[in-house]
């Protein structure tokens, strides 16, 4: 299958950008993927690149996802299986998306304090870019790198951070048939790396009663007593939020309601609807991963369409980011 080309998209986006906000930008680093509310405010200098070094071309590399893997376990066999899974996901992404600049992933595998947590991945650094509608939004570094802009906020050493829990009953490629209690590790990694690539909203949905704008309560510094200074810096959209709701006529999306719609914490906005998309080709970004199914099982149930787990609609969403 021919990879889905994002180069035209990136070029178009680069030409429609108004500007990098300033010589000194406020970037957001999130080094703790399982703790989305812990953020670091980083002053990013604007880096200028000579035009002669810019090449809008597709890389010939066979693997555009570099995995920097850190296994916290003494079980070498399990570490090898986990590392192999990350590398395979890198190949899957490379085959589905045409990238011009390598994306670096810091991946950790080990025991977590909460055995119910499967794992998580997020953009390590998000940077403010003034969009074509004049609104400044946070773009994941992995996307900004593909734009090959003549000037951009300073890049961090890594693009995506990922942390996965070895206490979960995981199924790896090559294991005996998956059981009804197991989670397919390949699918879990691929799902989370989509979040790391930018499939994530600035609307927090980890509160018990309502989706809430993500508060930029940055961690500024630590003193000798390890107390953290928190500063409120307002709200800011992410690139993913640009087309969250389009209301050109200023009408409401539905009739007025007397109470909030119920939902499961963490299930909304940054995922697609479970009821509609489970058992379809767009299964990957549903909130709940089905136990007892491998990635290939779900691809088959969804119809074995071109693109595999990274479906056509998912690629369109990635396209809309830039």
pLDDT at 306: 82
The CA distance from 90 to 106, in Å, is 12
- The rounded radius of gyration (Å) of the Cα atoms in the chain is 20
Residues 6 or more apart in contact with residue 148 via CB below 8 angstroms: 10, 14, 49, 54, 55, 56, 100, 101
Distances (CA, A) of 246 to 257, 310, 321: 20, 25, 15
pTM of the model: 0.80
CA 192 – CA 306 distance, rounded (Å): 21
Instruction: Write out the two tokens for 26.
Output: 């406020």
User: What is the model's pLDDT at position 116?
Assistant: 86
**What is the distance between the alpha carbons of residues 152 and 45, in angstroms, rounded to a whole number?**
8
> In the prediction, which pLDDT does 249 show?
65
Pairing of strands 170-171, 183-184: parallel
Residue 15: the pLDDT is 37
User: Taking the mean position of all CA atoms in its chain, how far away is CA 28?
Assistant: 14
94 neighbors 65 (Cβ within 8 angstroms): yes
Q: Phi/psi zone of residue 125: left (φ > 0), alpha (ψ -120 to 50 degrees), beta?
A: beta
Tokens of 269: 């906005």
| pLDDT of 148 | 83
- The three state secondary structure string of the chain is CCCEECHHHHHHHHHHCCECCCCEEEEEECCCCCCCCCCEEEEEEEEECCHHHCCCCCCCCCCCEEEEEEECCCCHHHHHHHHHHHHHHHHHHHHHEECCCCEEEEEEEECCCCCCCCEEEEECEEEEEECCCCCEEEEEHHHHHHHCCCEEECCCCCCEEEEEECCCCEECCCCCCCCCCCEEHHHHHHHHHHHHCCCCCCEECCCCCCCEECCCEEEEEECCCCCEEEEECCCCCEHHHCCCCCCCCCCCCCCCCCCCCCCCCCCCCCCECHHHHCCCCCHHHECCCCCCCCHHHHHHHCCCCCCCCCCHHHHHHHHHCC
Give the integer Cα–Cα distance in Å for 273 and 267.
9
The pLDDT profile of the chain, 322 residues, written as one tens digit per residue, is: 434 444 333 333 343 443 444 455 789 999 999 988 788 888 888 988 776 555 555 555 668 999 999 999 999 999 999 999 999 999 999 999 878 899 999 999 999 988 889 999 999 999 988 888 888 888 999 999 988 888 889 999 999 999 999 999 999 999 999 999 999 999 999 999 999 998 887 776 544 444 555 555 555 543 444 455 555 555 778 877 777 665 666 666 666 666 655 555 545 577 788 888 899 999 999 988 999 999 999 999 999 988 899 999 999 888 777 6
Report which of 59, 55, 48 is spatially closest to residue 19, judged by C-alpha positions.
48
pLDDT at 60: 55
First-last CA distance in the chain: 23
Tokens of 272: 């697609």
In this prediction, residue 133 carries a pLDDT of: 80
| pLDDT in the model for residue 12 | 39
């Amino acid at each position: 299958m021919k990879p889905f080309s994002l180069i035209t998209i990136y070029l178009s986006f680069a030409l429609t950008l108004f500007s990098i906000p300033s010589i000194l930008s406020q970037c957001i680093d999130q080094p703790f993927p399982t703790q989305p509310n812990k953020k670091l405010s980083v002053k990013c200098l604007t880096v200028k690149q000579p035009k002669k070094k810019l090449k809008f071309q597709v890389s010939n590399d066979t693997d555009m996802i570099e995995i920097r893997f850190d296994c916290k376990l003494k079980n070498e066999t399990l570490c090898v299986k986990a590392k192999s899974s990350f590398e395979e996901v890198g190949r899957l992404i490379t085959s589905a998306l045409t990238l011009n600049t390598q994306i670096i992933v810091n991946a950790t595998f080990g025991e977590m304090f909460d055995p119910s947590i499967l794992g998580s991945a997020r953009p390590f650094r998000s940077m403010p870019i003034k969009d074509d509608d004049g609104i400044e939004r946070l773009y994941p570094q992995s996307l900004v790198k593909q734009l090959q802009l003549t000037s951009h906020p300073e890049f961090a050493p890594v693009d995506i951070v990922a942390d996965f829990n070895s206490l979960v009953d995981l199924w790896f490629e090559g294991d005996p048939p998956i059981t009804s209690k197991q989670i397919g590790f390949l699918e879990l990694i691929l799902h989370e790396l989509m979040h790391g690539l930018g499939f994530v909203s600035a609307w927090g949905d980890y509160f018990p009663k309502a989706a809430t704008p993500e508060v930029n309560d940055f961690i500024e510094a630590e003193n000798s007593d390890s107390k953290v200074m928190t500063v409120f810096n307002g709200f800011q959209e992410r690139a993913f939020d640009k087309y969250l709701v389009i209301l050109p006529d200023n009408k409401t999306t539905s009739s007025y309601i007397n109470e909030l719609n119920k939902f499961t914490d963490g299930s909304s906005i940054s995922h697609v609807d479970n009821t509609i998309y489970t058992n379809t080709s767009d299964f990957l970004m549903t909130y709940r991963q089905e136990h007892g199914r491998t990635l290939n099982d779900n691809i088959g149930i969804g119809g074995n369409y071109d693109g595999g787990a990274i479906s056509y609609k998912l690629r369109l969403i990635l396209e809309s980011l830039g």
